[in-house]
Amino acid sequence: MTQTTITLVVPGMGSDHCAGIIRRTLERMDAVADVGTNIGNHHVTVTLDAAGADAAALQRAVEGAGYDVAAVHDESGGAEEADAEIEEAYLRQASKRLWIAAIPTTLIMILMLPHMFVQPIPGYLAIVAILAFPVVFLYGGAATHKASWRSITNRNANMDVLISMVTLTKYLIGLVGFVYPMTSFIEMAATIMTFHLLGRLLEAKAKGRASQAIRRLLTLGAKTARVERDGEEVEVPTKALQPGDVMIIRPGDKVPTDGEVVDGESHVDESIATGESIPVYKSTGDSVIGATINKEGRLRVRATRVGGDTFLSQVIRLVEQAQGSRVPIQEFADRMTGRFVPVVILISVGSLIAWLLFADNLRPILEWGATFLPWVNPDAATPVLAILAAISVLVIACPCALGLATPTALMVGSGLGAERGVLIRSGEAIQTFKDVKVMVLDKTGTITRGEPKLTEVVPAAGVDEHDLLLLAAAVENASEHPIARAIVDGARERGVQPGEVTGFRSTGARGVSGNVGGVHVLIGNRRLLQEDGVSGLEALDDALGDLEARGRTAVLVAADGRAHGIVAVADTIKDESVAAIRGMHDLGLHVVMITGDNERAARAVAAEVGIDEVQAGVLPEGKVDAIRTLQARFGNHVAMVGDGINDAPALKQANVGIAIGAGADVAIEAADVTLVRGELTGVVEAMRLSKATFRKIAENLLWASAYNVAAIPIAALGLLHPMIGVIAMTASSLSVIGNSLLLKRVRLST
């Protein structure tokens, strides 16, 4: 069945508690197949069956749950700039509401102090009631009460419900003072609403800092591009680019979109994509990434990917996916927050009743508290004490801190990873990664470079190394075989230019021959040279055996019927592989290499880099079984790193799949983690990041839970002033966000 995806922008979705209410509301709709929420960008992504509800029905449902919908986006995308404008407008509106509430509340505080401690002010209650009215009922509190009403009528209860109950009851009870002498609560109503609005604004700004990685990514791309049209250069918006357009990129310009160099050469700063600060040389045929910076030369680049298909767009999607994902430990927090508000209301009502019935038994607690808490008044009337206790419970109990615990840590952690070229796709991978015991590595393209390279040149006695390379490179230059290209490239790197060859002949897998400067040259395996009657091969036996034992592909070179020496090629080890595997050992990992290569070559590579266990000769379909075997041995704590299409099934089978960013798209799609730089050291960084992120999530949940467990009983006993409670409530949410921001100090590299 065909499905469609619609994204709603809900600025008021400020915590995972709010997101849970919205999710449950939408999931009750028959047409909804899946609901995803991301409090970082305030997106609610809804997957609908083809014959299901439309966007208008979704919007009505979300608004019915108590949350305004600022915008609706379909699958066409391109709404990033609109979302940024919506967020800015939301912040401006939150700031305006705060100021409108703060000015009258400040005036109330200024009047309250002399009224209480110096001289009663005539008409004080009427003045305070008038000043507090717009704060509690109009522009300051109207949005809160509106959201509360919609939430209650939709059988949900969010934080707005608690604030509405507190401020409305305090204001209305305070009006009793006009007919019956009693303590005024109107000042508290205005103050609590103002602090609530302040907390909302501060949380929005703090979450903006937590999710700033997305904003930075969105601003990286070029806005316009110079393209060739009818023989002329014209400037067009980047959004108007089409695959095949030829772009002109001058020194200092950003590359508008992903493409391939068709003319020119330059160095390109790819640090935004790879984290590597050294510019990379680019020439004809090389690929370039959108948003990278051309340093000095003029390049003509053919656009290959545009819009949502570009590398930058894929990175943004991965980061948003990680930020909006759910960690398994969050299920515990969800169950708590889902029942939190009703339980708090019951405790509040219970406190009210308990104080009304058992005030004499509870007053000794207040007398003890009054010795060190200046706001505690044990001599107050029983109804006043009952109301204060009930209201204090309502304002101190905040599910927002619990709701922010996981998503803010994910926002910061995934953003930090993106900046370092480590893209973690899901929150589940973060929780699973920390328990990994076994790291499985593919050999080719992961530990090694994935392409042969000339490694050794061994001349026979009396033969000059330069002459040996000159003959070998001249003949191999006529071949397109990868080993031949490695020999030729290696010779050029050593300053040897291949000469002309005549009479070139290939004998398939056995070798090649040709004439170079009147000398007949034969290159191939030992059997080929023996059949041709070449002499002097015995002198090279030891060297040949040593090279083959070290996993080299060694070919013999003969000139005019006599052995001239050996040239050896191998898939060379990446520079960072040894350090990366050492880092894995430091993390306590058992490192296993699974490869389709032969046993000898595999063990040679393993010995060079420090692999603990080798499984060689494993076919692509056998890698999945190998992963399952390791999972049975070590439990479900196996991660795998791979880069090829043949690695995709095994990456899916592993508990955590890690794709090298330079590898195949299908491998990247199958993985939980992508290493953009294509360096194995990124595995160590990714694991350290996952451990640090999960540790922050656990710390946040522990702090938020401990805060509520400790604060609610204190409030119920009458020891906590409501205004102190609302400050503590805001501080708890900000402390969770602040703790998450400390992730930016984590050192990922060694």
pLDDT, one tens digit per residue, over 502-543 is 988 887 657 889 999 889 999 988 888 888 888 888 888 888
How much is the pLDDT for 664?
42
Please write down the HEC assignment for all residues of 655-721: CEEEEECCCCHHHHHHCCEEECCCCCHHHHHHHHHHHHHHHHHHHHHHHHHHHHHHHHHHHHCCCCC
How much is the pLDDT for 328?
59
For residue 391, give both structure tokens: 């209201």
Strand pairing of 43-49 and 232-237? unpaired
Choose among 546, 569, 571, 565: nearest CA to 466. Answer: 565
Q: Does residue 272 have a pLDDT over 70? A: no
Confidence band of 585 (pLDDT split at 50, 70, 90): very high
Q: Does residue 338 have a pLDDT over 90? A: no
**In whole angstroms, what is the distance from residue 708 CA to residue 703 CA?**
9
Please tell me what DSSP assigns to residue 605: H
Q: Which of 94-108, 344-358, 613-627 ranks highest by mean pLDDT? A: 344-358
- How many C-beta atoms surround the C-beta of residue 49 within 10 A? 14
Side-chain half-sphere CA neighbours of 306 within 13 A: 17
How much is the pLDDT for 590?
93
Average pLDDT over residues 137-143: 78
Which of 353-357, 368-372, 701-705 has the lowest average pLDDT? 701-705
How much is the pLDDT for 484?
86
Average pLDDT over residues 486-492: 90
Check whether domain 218-320 has CATH 2.70.150.10, yes or no: yes
Q: Does residue 44 have a pLDDT over 70? A: yes
Q: Are 722 and 416 in contact (CB under 8 A)?
A: no
CATH code assigned to 419-448+574-691: 3.40.50.1000
Choose among 284, 248, 285, 290: nearest CA to 269. Answer: 290
**In whole angstroms, what is the distance from residue 72 CA to residue 85 CA?**
14
Strand pairing of 656-660 and 638-642? parallel
If phi over 0 gives left and psi between -120 and 50 gives alpha, with beta otherwise, what is residue 27? alpha
- How many C-beta atoms surround the C-beta of residue 414 within 10 A? 31
How much is the pLDDT for 522?
92
Which of 400-414, 442-456, 616-630 has the lowest average pLDDT? 400-414
pTM, 2 dp? 0.60
Write down the mean pLDDT value for the chain: 78
Three-class SS of residue 384? helix
Q: Does residue 485 have a pLDDT over 90? A: no
Average pLDDT over residues 344-354: 87
Distances (CA, A) of 436 to 32, 276, 432, 688: 35, 27, 7, 12
Average pLDDT over residues 394-422: 72
**Over the stretch 694-741, which tens digit does the pLDDT of each residue have?**
888 888 888 777 777 788 888 888 887 766 766 676 677 778 778 888
Using the structure block, give the residue that is written with the tokens 């294509």. Answer: 678
Sheet holding 32-38, edge to edge: 32-38, 43-49, 3-9, 71-73
How much is the pLDDT for 214?
52
Which of 86-95, 220-229, 374-383, 517-526 has the lowest average pLDDT? 86-95
Choose among 330, 324, 72: nearest CA to 211. Answer: 324
How much is the pLDDT for 353?
92
**In whole angstroms, what is the distance from residue 112 CA to residue 577 CA?**
69
Using the structure block, give the residue that is written with the tokens 């959201």. Answer: 147
For residue 175, give both structure tokens: 């009006």
**In whole angstroms, what is the distance from residue 190 CA to residue 361 CA?**
32
Residue of 160, 253, 442, 647 marked catalytic: 442
Q: Are 641 and 591 in contact (CB under 8 A)?
A: no
Cα 173 to chain centroid, rounded: 49
Q: Which of the following CATH numbers is that of domain 3-77: 1.10.10.10, 3.30.70.100, 3.30.930.10, 3.40.50.2000?
A: 3.30.70.100
pLDDT above 90 covers a percentage of the chain that reads: 5
Taking the CA atoms of 247, 248, 254 and 260 in sequence, report the sign of the dihedral they define.
positive
Q: Does residue 660 have a pLDDT over 70? A: yes
For residue 31, give both structure tokens: 């047409």
Q: Directed axis angle between helix 722-741 and helix 400-419, to 10°?
A: 20
How much is the pLDDT for 608?
85
How much is the pLDDT for 567?
92
- Residues with Cβ within 8 Å of 205's Cβ and at least 6 positions away in sequence, in order, are 91
If phi over 0 gives left and psi between -120 and 50 gives alpha, with beta otherwise, what is residue 497? beta
Count Cβ atoms within 10 A of the Cβ of residue 209 and give its class: 0-12 exposed, 13-18 middle, 19 or more buried. middle
Choose among 401, 467, 393, 475: nearest CA to 722. Answer: 393
For residue 417, give both structure tokens: 């990873």
Residue 242, φ and ψ in degrees, nearest 5: -125, 150
**In whole angstroms, what is the distance from residue 316 CA to residue 727 CA?**
36
Check whether domain 450-573 has CATH 3.40.50.300, yes or no: no
Q: Does residue 449 have a pLDDT over 70? A: yes
* Residue 442: active-site member: yes
More confident residue, 672 or 669: 672
Average pLDDT over residues 239-263: 86
- Residues with Cβ within 8 Å of 672's Cβ and at least 6 positions away in sequence, in order, are 424, 425, 426, 428, 429, 432, 433, 656, 657, 658
**In whole angstroms, what is the distance from residue 707 CA to residue 251 CA?**
56
Choose among 613, 616, 611, 577: nearest CA to 595. Answer: 616
Average pLDDT over residues 255-263: 87
Choose among 711, 724, 712, 715: nearest CA to 188. Answer: 724
In sequence order, what are the beta bridge partners of 301? 247, 261
Taking the CA atoms of 283, 284, 287 and 288 in sequence, report the sign of the dihedral they define.
positive
Residue 349, φ and ψ in degrees, nearest 5: -65, -40
Q: Does residue 303 have a pLDDT over 70? A: yes
Cα 451 to chain centroid, rounded: 31
In sequence order, what are the beta bridge partners of 303? 259
Count Cβ atoms within 10 A of the Cβ of residue 219 and give its class: 0-12 exposed, 13-18 middle, 19 or more buried. exposed
